[in-house]
């Protein structure tokens, strides 16, 4: 009887399953797009056939939650504007729940998603998008160090773990995508967004982008439910701005674009499978990026085989008309963006909102609308939103801002801090009675508390901020009045007199380096000297005759000549995590041996621009009158509390062909009395090229930890693709001939040996 019942049960189940795919009065066919086992391509195709023109265009649009997405008394509260926008469905919404706690955000986004699905004729979910410069850009998330801090670690695995945490925290808030990371190469410190990107170097940025995208996306496997999709930006050349000002033209040669600007984006597509790409505000050779089919279709799609979606930067399709002035009308602007390959219009009411009318007048546009709508829908299927659109709210606090993630933030901070100078004052001894003066305009309220948790009972502290650098106005900040700054300096000096050692926290605040938004905002500077009277502050502190340790916090490279000259020690911290002051104290008292390396070159003056280490060799021929022709600190530079010794380089062969590799090796020895980490850097210099070549290029690095007296052999495989560049005919070629191979601790401190690339073909 039991076996009989089992057979009946199986039969009923089979019949029920079969009936769900057959047409009867009671059991309609399950549409293909609702079938989880169907291929994504067939689901997209099926859904697209069922959609009206207006519904398709709705999938190609995104608006910001500040239009009226709120959470009141545990319930979703939508403005009439938002309700109207959602009548036909929506591609996505930016930053829903950004000002709510993680749990509230998850509940809000669940209710928002439910509303979208319920009010969509076909039940199409929306995706919710964030930013992630310091972790998830939302209240209650772990605040990690900035991307440029990540590069200073020179630690691929650590950076991937950071972005893995970011991806998990974002998904648990009910978010699905992030308009990050930035693959831009940053070489102009006048540009206020410098710290949002990773470095001045193509190879280092490429490695960081691969780590970041893989981390955010959970190696792509996490996209179904545990992680978010990366939208790599700004494609392409965004940071190469004339005058270093946001929205300015981009002056860049085609060869530099291909050899130096493209590689991080190409790696994001080919190696990390980024889910999205954001187009650049700027232009390339006069062609606006949002209206550039060569860039967004020929290069991105045809050459690199990108299958994801392309989103505009904020309002940039509309700006083709009223700002870039390459379109006579808003209709023309929408048409340019559509044909070029922009799939999703961010924010604008004067761009893709016009497409339904335009397509009815010109039905040929439907093929492009279908193309873009399909790419957006494909993204939603990849993210698993049709099967699992909601968040398990009770599990949010098990993932977001956990002790594990806070410790990870501190770990990244420890490895990103760069020791720029040390005359022997560091590390301080916490076993001796010592009074610290924590002073300076970049001092924040957590410094004393976090230091106290590290320094021990023998160390006492006094603190005095003195003054703020700016008035903190978000749009156009102003420097604090000189009188107030001088009064603040007097307060700082008076406080510092009480101490044995002075810790001066200086550099820049969040307002001295920031994004200059389209209207009513500035964030770029025409000087890279420390703002205000900070140099004067250091000179006054130096007169006290006490050791001065400078803690440099900033978001753009600064020409810190006075700091470098007067400081007894200087730590470059960039923009650390919320745990950053713990790490500074740990480094300062020798609990952590600093191992960060500079991801940029530090100039002595803004007049040296361009100053990146890999500029063309001919640029180094002449300097300037009355000035040193060298940077203040070189790319890749960073000191340690121990001493590392490099052996001479050994090569497996002094010749290679296009079909062979050679191995370059050195032995690294820790000659000091402390355990420490060193980043061994590999540079290549093409001695004779078909076109004018860079002075040198980073092509590899490895971070190694050694105990006192320990040695380790470090090897790099030199492959033919490392020697490629764009030749006279604008095609990739191999640089046959002689190369100099350099291995060392920075771009200026290395051992060198030559090898030759010969053709192995007859």
Would 215 be classed as within a structural domain? yes
Whether 368 is in a domain gets the answer: yes
505 neighbors 464 (Cβ within 8 angstroms): no
Q: Give me the residues paired with residue 713 across strands.
A: 667
Q: What confidence tens digit (pLDDT) does each residue in 136-178 have?
A: 999 999 999 999 999 999 999 999 999 999 999 999 999 999 9
Q: Out of 313, 345, 350, 413, which one is annotated catalytic?
A: 313
Q: Which residues contact 662 (CB under 8 A, 6 or more apart)?
A: 651, 652, 653, 654, 655, 656, 717, 718, 755
Q: Would you say residue 77 has pLDDT above 80?
A: yes
CA distance 390 to 367: 32
Nearest-angstrom CA–CA distance, 399 and 141: 10
Q: What is the predicted pLDDT for the residue at 29?
A: 78
Query: Beta partners for 293?
Result: none
Q: Kindly state whether residues 441 and 562 are assigned to the same domain.
A: yes
Structural domain including 734 reads 644-757
Give the mean pLDDT of 22-37: 75
Res. 451 pLDDT band, cuts 50 70 90: very high
Predicted TM-score of the model (pTM): 0.95
Higher-scoring residue by pLDDT: 467, 28: 467
Is the separation of the CB atoms in 279 and 235 below 8 Å? Answer: yes
Same domain, 534 and 599: yes
Counts of helices then strands in the chain (DSSP H, E): 21, 29
**Range list of H helices, 478-579:** 482-496, 534-542, 561-566
- Phi, psi (rounded to 5 degrees) for 84: -65, -40
Is 313 a catalytic site residue?
Answer: yes
CB contact burial 126-161 (16+ within 10 A = b; e otherwise): bbbbbbbbbbbbbebbbbbbbbbbbbbbbbbebbbb
Same domain, 493 and 551: yes
Query: Within this chain, do residues 372 and 227 fall inside the same structural domain, yes or no?
Result: yes
CB 540 within 8 A of CB 489: yes
> Mean pLDDT of all residues in the chain?
95
| Angle, CA of 691, 696 and 698, to the nearest 5° | 120
232 vs 277: CA distance, rounded Å: 5
Task: Give the bridge partners for 284, in sequence order.
Answer: 287
Tokens for 209?
């982008």
Which tokens hold the place of 467? 């003054």
> Rounded mean pLDDT of 186-191?
96
Q: Is the pLDDT score of 708 beyond 60? A: yes
Instruction: Establish if 600 belongs to a structural domain.
Output: yes
Start-to-end C-alpha separation, the chain = 81
Cα distance between residue 114 and residue 740, in whole Å? 61
CA dist., res. 216 & res. 228, Å (int)? 6
Residues in Cβ contact with 290 at an 8 Å cutoff, skipping those fewer than 6 apart: 279, 280, 312, 313, 316, 317, 319, 320, 324, 336, 337, 340, 342
Indicate if the pLDDT at residue 11 is higher than 60: no
3-state secondary structure of 536: helix
pLDDT classification of 26: cutoffs 50, 70, 90? low
Strand pairing report for 501-507 and 434-439: parallel
CB distance 82 to 384 below 8 Å: no
Sign of CA dihedral 68, 73, 74, 75: negative
Interaxial angle between packed helices 330-340 and 366-382, expressed in degrees from 0 to 180 and rounded to the nearest 10? 60
Tell me the CA distances in angstroms from 736 to 147, 476, 690, one per residue in order: 36, 52, 9
**What count of other Cβ atoms lies within 10 Å of the Cβ of residue 239?**
24
pLDDT bracket for residue 651 (50, 70, 90): very high
Same domain, 598 and 717: no
* Res 520: pLDDT: 86
Residue bearing tokens 């769900």:
20
Q: At 677, is the secondary structure helix, strand, or coil?
A: strand
- The proportion of the chain whose per-residue pLDDT surpasses 70, expressed as a percent, equals 96
What span, in angstroms and rounded, lies between the C-alpha atoms of 275 and 296?
15
Question: Quick one: 537 and 578 in the same domain?
Answer: yes
- Structural domains of the chain, count: 4
Instruction: State both tokens at 282.
Output: 């700027």
What is the C-alpha separation between 286 and 283, in angstroms, rounded?
A: 5
User: Angle, to 10 degrees, between the axis of helix 102-118 and the axis of helix 156-172?
Assistant: 60
Q: Do residue 389 and residue 434 come from a single domain?
A: no
The answer to whether residue 377 is domain-embedded is: yes
What b/e readout covers 670-701, taking b as 16+ CB neighbours within 10 angstroms? bebeeebbbbbbbbbbbeebeeebbbbbbbbb
The torsion angles phi and psi of 425, rounded to 5 degrees, stand at -70, -30
DSSP string, 18-59: HHTTS--SSSPPPPGGG-TTS-HHHHHHHHHHH--HHHHHHT
The domain that holds 468 is classified in CATH as 3.40.50.1700
- Do 26 and 42 have their domain in common? no
Please tell me whether residues 319 and 433 are part of one structural domain.
Answer: no
Q: What is the CATH number of the domain that holds 672?
A: 2.60.40.10
Looking at the structure, tell me whether residues 389 and 458 fall in a common domain.
Answer: no
At residue 325, does pLDDT exceed 50? yes
Distances (CA, A) of 674 to 26, 504, 643, 644, 680: 77, 26, 9, 11, 18
In DSSP notation, 96-134 reads: TTTTS-HHHHHHHHHHHHHHHHHTSTT-PPPEEEE--SS
C-alpha span between 51 and 29 (Å, rounded): 18
**Proportion of the chain above pLDDT 90, given as a percent:** 93
The answer to whether residue 412 is domain-embedded is no
The answer to whether residue 453 sits within a structural domain is yes
Residue with token string 């929408």 = 334
Asked if residue 425 is part of any domain, the answer here is yes
Q: And the tokens for 529?
A: 């000297």
pLDDT at 30: 84
d(CA 375, CA 393) in angstroms, rounded, equals: 29
Query: What SS3 state is found at 474?
Result: coil
Over residues 343-358, the mean pLDDT reads 97
Among 588, 620, 652, give the residue marking a domain's end: 620
Q: Indicate whether 132 and 229 sit together in one domain.
A: yes
CATH number (domain holding residue 89): 3.20.20.300
Q: Find the helix or strand (DSSP H, E) in which 225 lies.
A: none
How far is the CA of 26 from the CAs of 38, 403, 446, 468, 720, in angstroms? Answer: 23, 53, 65, 72, 65
93: closest CA among 72, 103, 108, 104? Answer: 108
In this structure, are 362 and 482 located in the same domain? no
pLDDT at 27: 63
Which 3 state secondary structure label does DSSP give 503? Answer: strand
Residue range 618-628, pLDDT digits in tens: 999 999 999 88
- Domain assignment present for residue 436? The answer is yes
360-370 pLDDT, tens digit per residue, is 999 999 999 99
């Amino acid at each position: 009887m039991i076996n009989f019942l089992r057979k009946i049960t199986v039969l009923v189940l089979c019949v029920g399953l079969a009936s769900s795919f057959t047409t009867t009065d009671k059991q309609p066919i399950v549409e293909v797009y609702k079938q989880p086992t169907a291929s994504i391509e067939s689901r997209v195709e099926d859904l697209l056939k069922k959609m009206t023109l207006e519904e398709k265009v709705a999938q190609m649009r995104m608006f910001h939650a500040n239009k009226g997405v709120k959470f009141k008394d545990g319930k979703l509260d939508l403005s009439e504007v938002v309700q109207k926008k959602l009548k036909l469905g929506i591609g996505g919404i930016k930053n829903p729940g950004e000002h709510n706690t993680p749990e509230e955000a998850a509940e809000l986004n669940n209710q928002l998603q439910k509303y979208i699905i319920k009010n969509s004729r076909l039940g199409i979910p929306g995706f919710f998008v964030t930013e992630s410069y310091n972790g998830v850009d939302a209240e209650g998330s772990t605040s990690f160090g900035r991307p440029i801090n990540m590069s200073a670690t020179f630690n691929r695995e650590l950076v991937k773990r950071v972005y893995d945490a970011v991806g998990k925290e974002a998904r648990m808030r009910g978010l699905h995508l992030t308009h990050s990371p930035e693959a831009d190469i940053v070489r102009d410190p006048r540009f206020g967004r410098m710290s949002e990107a990773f470095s001045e170097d193509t190879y280092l940025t490429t490695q960081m982008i691969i780590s970041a995208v893989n981390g955010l996306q959970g190696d792509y496997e996490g996209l179904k439910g545990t992680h978010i999709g990366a939208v790599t930006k700004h494609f392409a050349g965004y940071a190469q701005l004339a005058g270093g000002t946001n929205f300015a033209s981009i002056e860049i040669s085609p060869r530099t674009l291909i050899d130096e600007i493209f590689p991080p984006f190409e790696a994001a597509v080919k190696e990390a499978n980024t889910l999205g790409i954001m187009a650049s505000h700027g232009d390339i050779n006069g062609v606006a990026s949002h209206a550039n089919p060569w860039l967004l279709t020929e290069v991105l799609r045809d050459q690199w085989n990108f299958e994801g979606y392309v989103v505009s930067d904020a309002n940039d399709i509309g700006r083709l008309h009223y700002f870039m002035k390459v379109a006579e009308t808003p209709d023309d602007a929408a048409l340019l963006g559509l044909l070029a390959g922009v799939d999703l219009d961010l924010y604008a009411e004067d761009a893709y909102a016009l497409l339904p009318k335009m397509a009815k007048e010109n039905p040929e546009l439907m093929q492009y609308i279908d193309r873009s709508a399909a790419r957006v829908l494909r993204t939603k299927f990849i993210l698993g939103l049709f099967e699992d659109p909601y968040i398990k709210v009770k599990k949010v606090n098990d993932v977001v801002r956990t002790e594990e993630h806070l410790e990870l933030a501190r770990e990244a901070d420890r490895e990103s801090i760069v020791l720029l100078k040390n005359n022997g004052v560091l590390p301080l001894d916490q076993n001796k009675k010592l009074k610290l003066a924590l002073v300076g305009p970049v001092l924040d309220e957590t410094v004393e508390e976090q230091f106290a948790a590290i320094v021990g009972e023998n160390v006492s502290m006094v603190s005095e901020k003195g003054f703020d650098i700016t008035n903190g106005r978000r749009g156009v900040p102003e420097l604090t009045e000189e009188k107030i700054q001088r009064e603040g300096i007097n307060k700082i000096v008076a406080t510092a007199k009480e101490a044995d050692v002075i810790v001066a926290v200086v550099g820049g605040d969040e307002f001295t380096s920031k994004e200059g938004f389209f209207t009513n905002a500035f964030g770029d500077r025409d000087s890279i000297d420390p703002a205000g009277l900070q140099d004067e502050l250091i000179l006054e502190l130096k007169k006290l005759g006490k050791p001065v340790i400078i803690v440099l916090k900033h978001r753009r490279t600064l020409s810190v000549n006075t700091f470098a000259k007067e400081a007894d020690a200087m730590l470059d911290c960039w923009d650390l995590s919320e745990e950053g002051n713990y790490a500074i104290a740990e480094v300062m008292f020798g609990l952590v041996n600093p191992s960060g390396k500079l991801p940029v070159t530090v100039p002595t003056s803004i007049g040296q621009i361009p100053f990146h280490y890999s500029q063309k060799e001919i640029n180094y021929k002449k300097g300037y009158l009355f000035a040193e022709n060298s940077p203040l600190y070189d790319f890749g530079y960073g000191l340690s509390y121990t001493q590392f010794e490099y052996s001479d380089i050994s090569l497996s062969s002094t010749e290679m062909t296009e079909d062979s590799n050679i191995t370059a090796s050195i032995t690294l020895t820790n000659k000091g009395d402390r355990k420490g980490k060193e980043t061994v850097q590999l540079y290549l210099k093409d001695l004779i090229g078909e076109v004018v070549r860079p002075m040198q290029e980073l092509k590899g690095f490895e971070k190694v930890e050694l105990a006192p007296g320990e040695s380790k052999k470090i090897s790099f495989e030199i492959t033919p693709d490392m020697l490629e560049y764009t030749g006279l005919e604008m095609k990739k070629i191999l640089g046959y001939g002689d190369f100099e191979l350099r291995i060392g601790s920075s771009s200026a401190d290395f051992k060198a040996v030559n090898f030759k690339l010969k053709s192995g073909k007859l």
